[in-house]
Amino acid sequence: MRTPIVAGNWKMNKKASEAAEFVGTLLEAGIDKIEGVEAVVCPVFPSLPVVAELCEGKNLFIGAQNLYFEPKGAYTGEVSPEMVKEFCQYVILGHSERRAYFHETDEMVNKKIKAAFAVGLIPILCVGETYEENQAGKTKDIVTAQVKADLAGLTVEQVTGMVIAYEPIWAIGTGLAASGELANQVIHDFVRTPVAELFGEETAEALRIQYGGSVSPANAEEFFSMPDIDGALVGGASLKPDFVEIVRVAAQCKA
C-alpha cells in the first residue's frame, strides 16, 4: 500500500509573513489532522524557516523547490542540500519551469537527486512533455527518457523511497488538466513500467507517483480514484485554502 502524498508547489509566491499566515490558515482548517495522506507545502527559500517552525511536530511536511548539488563554496545565489535539509523533508527537483527557464538538464537533475539523498532529503522528481511533444506523439519517448536519465545510478532503496510527479507541461497553470485516465495511463506505462524494468517490480510498486497540472478540488477525485496515481503536485490551488480540500479528497479516495 502506497501512502498518498499531496504537495503544494507555491512556486515564486508568498513572502515569509504571507507564508506564515497561510500555514496558520491551513492548520486551522485541520490539514494536519487528515489521516492516511501526507500533505507537503513547498515555499520559497526565505519562507522555509518560519514555515518549519509552524509545522514542527505536526503532520504537515515541508519541501524546497530546488537545491544545488555541491555541498558548499563559491556558487553565488545557490543553496546547498544541507541548507535545505535544515528545514525540509522533501525537495522538488527537475520541475519543468526549472528545465525551461534555468536550463536544467537531466544530468543536473540526476546530480541534484543524488545530492538530496546524500543528506536524507526525499526528492520529488518532475517529468513531463510539452504540448508540441504531446501532439507529435512523443509523450512515451520524452517521459521514459527523463525517467531513465534522471534516475541513472540510483539504488533500489532510493527509488523505492522517492516520489515522481508526472506533470504534462501543457496542463500546468492552464486550467486544462489531463483526464484522470490519460494521466493514469502515462504514469503506468511510461513511468512505473520503465522503473520496473530498471529497478524491479517491487520498487515500481512501492514508488509513489503524483499527477500535476491544474489540479483543483473540482477534479481531484478524478485523479485520486485512479489506481496508479498516488497523489498530486499542486500549483495554483495550493496557494489557497482549497489545498486542504484536495488533501481531504486524496485521503477519502485512497482509504
Binding footprint of ligand 13P on the chain (CB under 6 A): 9, 95, 167, 172-173, 212-215, 233-237
Least distance to ligand 13P from the beta carbon of 231, Å?
A: 12
Distance of CA 127 to the CA centre of its chain: 10
Work out the widest C-alpha separation in the chain, in whole angstroms: 48
38, 95, 97, 104: the catalytic one is 95
Least distance to ligand 13P from the beta carbon of 10, Å?
A: 9
Task: End-to-end CA distance of the chain: give it in Å, rounded.
Answer: 10
- The alpha carbons of the chain give a radius of gyration, in whole angstroms, of 17
The C-alpha cell 497553470 sits at 173
Q: Which residues contact 67 (CB under 8 A, 6 or more apart)?
A: 79, 80, 81, 83, 84, 91, 93, 112, 115, 116, 121
Cα→Cα distances 70→11, 73, 112, 113, 159, Å? 22, 8, 9, 12, 21
**Which CB atom, from 99 or from 203, has the smaller least distance to ligand 13P?**
99
**Which CB atom, from 11 or from 203, has the smaller least distance to ligand 13P?**
11
Helical H segments across 151-214, by residue range: 156-161, 180-186, 193-199, 201-206
Could you confirm whether 103 is annotated as catalytic? no
Least distance to ligand 13P from the beta carbon of 229, Å?
A: 14
**Which CB atom, from 46 or from 173, has the smaller least distance to ligand 13P?**
173
Q: What is the number of the residue whose Cβ is closest to ligand 13P?
A: 235
**Which CB atom, from 95 or from 192, has the smaller least distance to ligand 13P?**
95
Least distance to ligand 13P from the beta carbon of 72, Å?
A: 28
| The three cell numbers locating residue 41 | 507545502
Least distance to ligand 13P from the beta carbon of 171, Å?
A: 6
* Local structure of 167: helix, strand or coil: coil
97, 104, 167, 222: the catalytic one is 167
Could you list the active site residues? Answer: 95, 167
